[in-house]
Structure 1
Amino acid sequence: MSLLSSFLRLRSSTNKMEPCPCASHDSLTIVEKAEVLQSQLADARSEKVQWLVKSITETHTELLKLPHFKPGKAINQLLGNLVSICSEIYDREIVEKVLRHREIQAVLPSLRQICAKAESCLELHWAEHIVAGQGADQVRERLKTFPYYDNYEELTRLELCAILSATKTAPRRVAFIGSGPLPLTSLCLLDSLKNDALIEIMSPQRRESQQPSRDADPVILNVDYDETAIAASLSLCLALGEQGRGMEFICAEAASPAKDLSEFDVVYMAALVGMSQTQKEGIILQVADRMRKGALLVVRSSWGLRTCLYPEVDLATENLLKRLETCVVVHPYGQVVNSVIVARVRG
């Protein structure tokens, strides 16, 4: 009886409850407010797109006015701001609208060429500064003062982890195509391989299977078409002494058949090798043809607005899929600008 009484009292109190405040709202007003908010969001995105387009194109215009692309206050500030803007993470819709904008499409090839030339000038400047040090110890100290040294170390760690996820064997022979005047990636990679950094993080079974090949000293072959770049990087590695032991050099085009790549476990292709998808695809196919089955090709790419700085690479084309099996794709969100693709050469 008490249960029934409770139910009746509950029902009675429910009947006396005030109507929901929502019932007094005009549903049309709510819809109108939602539409206003959507419109405001669309306007904010449009403003952001216009600001990005304006910032990138105006930077391109100012860069074209410079007499050269050697390091200096003006170019350092312009490129620093450009890299900062393009490295930010934006809404996908904003990125797509910026990259499709006719003004961006018009300046993109030129902007990438300028970035490539400026990067080469920066590396050459620093290579000459570092080599001017007195003795191997001072040369090593100067090397670590390069403004982006930490970024290269971080990128190398990221790439080593990507390589490890695609192979059971730590590489001992690596070729780096497009090494430039300051081969920092090669030096960081060589140091890691000398210290068996890749082997130490393997599972016990994989470390055991790797043991027989550890007797061979690691070798990094640096390949660049620019004689000045090769001369500068060779001088640097000689000045580094023991740290540079294991670095080899050859002056050749990326697609040149002059060097057989079948002896290398991993072949790197720098971000500035080829300035378009068509160029990159042709070079990749020629490089893969000189590699052995099962070897890994590490291709540096880009994503988002970072493609304003470096060309994006797509390995999922009909021709590339026949020669390469993509294993890993990594898109960094931090200070590292380049994306990384690791692919295995098919038979």
Structure 2
Amino acid sequence: MNVSNPVHTHAAKIVAEYHRLKSLSELTITAETMMMFHQFLNLLSNEHGSEFADAVLAEPAIQGIKFGIQQLFSQASSLYERHWAERIIASQHPNAVLSEEYPYYLHYQRATALEINAIQALADKPTQQVLMVGSGALPLTSLALANSGFTVDNLDISAADLSLGEQVCGGVAKNQHMRFIHNDILQQTDLRQYDVIWLAALVGDETIKNNILQHLFNHMQAGALLVIRTAFNLRTLLYPSLTEQHIAPFQLKLKIQTYADNFHSILIAQKPKQ
């Protein structure tokens, strides 16, 4: 790889950091491994322009490790959420641990607020009941949605993560009414009750995501909205991404690509009214 070119140089750094993470004897949540992951994630910042990002993504060495990066990030994200969920559950002051110690608390508050504001602007009627697909062990989005007055159902394919998420919500939001559903979204058919469905970024690979979109379209009520968390530019190395071309026959209503704070990108679509 020619490192005299900025694109090659950046691609080489990504490859090197990925192999450094892969060389760990065990993936655990420690200060050292978190520092390594932060260094890696900084290389994939949204602040890089699209032309530069496209050139880096086109590098053969990057294409060769893309799937491996997504697998590694998914594994690390799950471990990280479980680590913090267990800390919150074990604490006598769960709200303080969540709001004052968890590093990404404000990030989730701001990101979900952006989505809620967009939904309220786009919806034809007041939003009441919502479903979070892939709520996970640390359902911060669901908590933010509940705090905004929505009735929230949480769905996850992992029984262990769903149980942790229910315990977290029980500790920090005792008066919030939520349901917790252990199921594969592709087996969940009673979706007409939801005004809005949120689809987490790490739910499934690209093929599974496309199958999920078709399933949601078949079972959602006409006029309901779908919030898809996705990625663009170098962040597509972390998440199996969806674009507006993937979401038909849903109608795209809003596309948000953020260039700050490494926010996920957002697509909001609607099942056409009948």
Place the TM-score, normalised by the shorter chain, in its bin: over 0.9
Q: Distance in 1 between matches of 2:109 and 2:155?
A: 20
SS at match of 2:48: coil
The aligned counterpart of 1:321 is: 248
The aligned counterpart of 2:239 is: 310
Q: Distance in 1 between matches of 2:41 and 2:192?
A: 37
The aligned counterpart of 1:110 is: 68
SS at match of 2:102: coil
Structure 1 residues 105-184: aligned runs within 5 Å: 105-134=63-92, 138-144=93-99, 145-184=101-140
Letter in 2 for 1:190: A
Decide which of 184, 189, 203 is 1:253's aligned counterpart.
184
Letter in 2 for 1:221: D
Decide which of 219, 222, 227 is 1:293's aligned counterpart.
222
- CA offset at residue 241 of structure 1? 4.5
Instruction: Say if 2:11 is the partner of 1:56.
Output: no
Structure 1 unmatched runs, 5+? 1-42, 194-217
Letter in 2 for 1:120: S
Instruction: Say if 2:42 is the partner of 1:84.
Output: yes
SS at match of 1:242: coil
The aligned counterpart of 1:208 is: none
Identity, % of aligned pairs? 29
Higher percent of residues as helix: 1
Letter in 2 for 1:287: L
Q: Deviations over 1:240-264 (max 9, x none)?
A: 2435x2221011112113x411101
- CA offset at residue 88 of structure 1? 4.4
- CA offset at residue 306 of structure 1? 1.2
- Normalising to structure 2: TM-score of the pair? 0.93
Q: Distance in 2 between matches of 1:93 and 1:103?
A: 18
Structure 1 residues 213-224: aligned runs within 5 Å: 218-224=150-156
Instruction: Say if 2:258 is the partner of 1:332.
Output: yes
User: Which stretches of structure 1, 4 residues or longer, exceed 3 Å deviation after superposition?
Assistant: none
The aligned counterpart of 1:187 is: 143
Letter in 1 for 2:142: S
Decide which of 52, 62, 72 is 2:30's aligned counterpart.
72
Structure with the greater alpha carbon radius of gyration: 1
Structure 2 unmatched runs, 5+? none
Contact 2:18 2:40 in 1 (8 A): no
Q: Deviations over 1:184-209 (max 9, x none)?
A: 0110121122xxxxxxxxxxxxxxxx
Structure 1 residues 216-255: aligned runs within 5 Å: 218-243=150-175, 245-255=176-186
Q: Distance in 2 between matches of 1:51 and 1:342?
A: 35
The aligned counterpart of 1:273 is: 203
Q: Distance in 1 between matches of 2:26 and 2:200?
A: 23
- Higher mean C-alpha displacement, 91-100 vs 259-268: 91-100
Letter in 2 for 1:114: L
Contact 2:120 2:127 in 1 (8 A): no
- Normalising to structure 1: TM-score of the pair? 0.74
Q: Distance in 2 between matches of 1:232 and 1:252?
A: 15
Decide which of 47, 51, 56 is 1:93's aligned counterpart.
51
Q: Deviations over 1:75-129 (max 9, x none)?
A: 2112101221211422332211110111000100010111111011000010010
Q: Distance in 1 between matches of 2:49 and 2:172?
A: 44
Count how many residue pairs are aligned between Structure 1 and Structure 2: 271
Q: Distance in 2 between matches of 1:91 and 1:153?
A: 26
Contact 2:46 2:262 in 1 (8 A): no
SS at match of 1:299: strand
Q: Distance in 1 between matches of 2:173 and 2:48?
A: 44
